[in-house]
Amino acid sequence: MAYEKVAGRAEIISVHEGHLLKTTTKEEVDSYLRMSESLANVAPRCCYIITNGKLVEMKKCIVCIQNSSKISQLMTSHSNGEFLILKDEGYEMVNPRIMDLKLGTRTHSDYITKEKKENHIRKCKATTSEKLGLRLSGAAFVGSGDSFATKWDKAFGKSLKSDQFFKAMKNFFDVDERQKTEVLRQLLKIRVVLEDSTSHRFFGSSLLILIDDEGQETVKVKLIDFASMARSETGQQQYDGVDTGAILGVNTLIKFLTK
Ligand SMILES: Nc1ncnc2c1ncn2[C@@H]1O[C@H](COP(=O)(O)OP(=O)(O)OP(=O)(O)O)[C@@H](O)[C@H]1O
Ligand SMILES: [Mg+2]
């Protein structure tokens, strides 16, 4: 499927077969460079990083190896700035339902202005983020029996009260039981990773959910967007224990899918 972006402001373009180039920040590059194996397993596969003109090999895949000349060209044309070459998680799908749910009860990093922080805090308080640990950021899907695509944007997500949020979830997850069970299985795997990530905070991260009726792999749930995450490294803000806000969000969805 041609890649479709349902949320976010970063520039993300399709590059060679099934890969995306995300223009990002030093912070997100660091998050990928320092990511544990277990976290990397629930995030999109990162094949390469281009950081300040340098190419860093991450988990390069066979397609990237076959397209090594394209990777070299990308490096030359993107010698300024920070970029991730990620696997397009929807590439093998035919017509997936796509949804981005912003995770957690706090979305701001420690490194933004006071004004921006206050804005984030205000948004969390005024939306489902605070109580549910989830906020709808965007979605695109063709509902069963519909001939048109439903598209939900960030403003729609921010406008939802809890009951309306769950109504939206009911609409999105109008899929078969087998697919719901698979969403659940992947969410439980993400929860284990979050519970093992002591002193980490997934500020601003999202759950990206893709559900397809055709194609080979029909369900994918990934943890994405690590631009604002905190790891309590030396010299940085320290956090104790696990990210209870992010775990609350995952639990909200688990509860919804099991009721
Ligand atoms: N690996 C991927 N595969 C498929 N789609 C993706 C992938 N990564 C991102 N997307 C799409 O792009 C959207 C935005 O991604 P992401 O959250 O990483 O960027 P962003 O929010 O624009 O970035 P930032 O928060 O750093 O400004 C997602 O909601 C999803 O639709
Ligand atoms: Mg995002």
Domain ranges of the chain: 12-87, 97-258
Distance in angstroms (rounded) separating the CA atoms of residues 259 and 255: 6
Distance in angstroms (rounded) separating the CA atoms of residues 90 and 20: 11
Ligand whose nearest atom lies closest to the CA of 227: 1
The amino acid occupying position 218 is T
Paired strand residues for 206: 102, 224
Ligand whose nearest atom lies closest to the CA of 7: 1
Distance 102 CA to ligand 2 centre (A): 7
Distance 1 CA to ligand 1 centre (A): 16
Q: Are the CB atoms for 111 and 233 separated by under 8 Å?
A: no
Kindly list the distances between the CA atom of residue 72 and the CA atoms of 48, 54, 60, in Å, as whole numbers in the listed order: 11, 11, 13
pLDDT of amino acid 227: 97
Residue 97: strand, helix, or coil = strand
Query: DSSP assignment, residue 200?
Result: -
Q: In the chain, what's the furthest Cα-to-Cα distance? A: 55
Query: DSSP assignment, residue 45?
Result: P
pLDDT of amino acid 25: 96
User: Cα dihedral sign for 230, 245, 108, 223?
Assistant: positive
Distance in angstroms (rounded) separating the CA atoms of residues 237 and 197: 16
Distance 256 CA to ligand 2 centre (A): 23
Residues with CB under 6 A from ligand 1: 5-10, 12, 20, 24, 28, 44, 86-90, 98, 100, 138, 204, 206, 208, 224-225, 227
Which residues have beta carbons under 5 A from ligand 2 (an ion)? 8, 225
Report the chain (259 residues): mean pLDDT per 10 consecutive residues. 87 94 97 97 98 94 94 92 96 95 97 97 98 98 93 98 98 95 97 97 98 86 98 96 98 97
Q: Give, using CA atoms, the residue closest to atom 14 of ligand 1.
A: 8
Paired strand residues for 86: 20, 46
DSSP collapsed to 3 states, 125-145: HHCCHHHHCEEEEEEEECCCC
CB neighbour class for 37 (10 Å; exposed up to 12, middle 13-18, buried from 19): exposed
Q: Give, using CA atoms, the residue closest to atom 10 of ligand 1.
A: 5
Kindly list the distances between the CA atom of residue 93 and the CA atoms of 125, 152, 183, in Å, as whole numbers in the listed order: 36, 20, 15
Does this model's pTM top 0.85? My answer is: yes
The correct CATH number of 97-258 out of 3.90.380.10, 1.10.10.60, 1.10.40.50, 3.30.470.160 is: 3.30.470.160
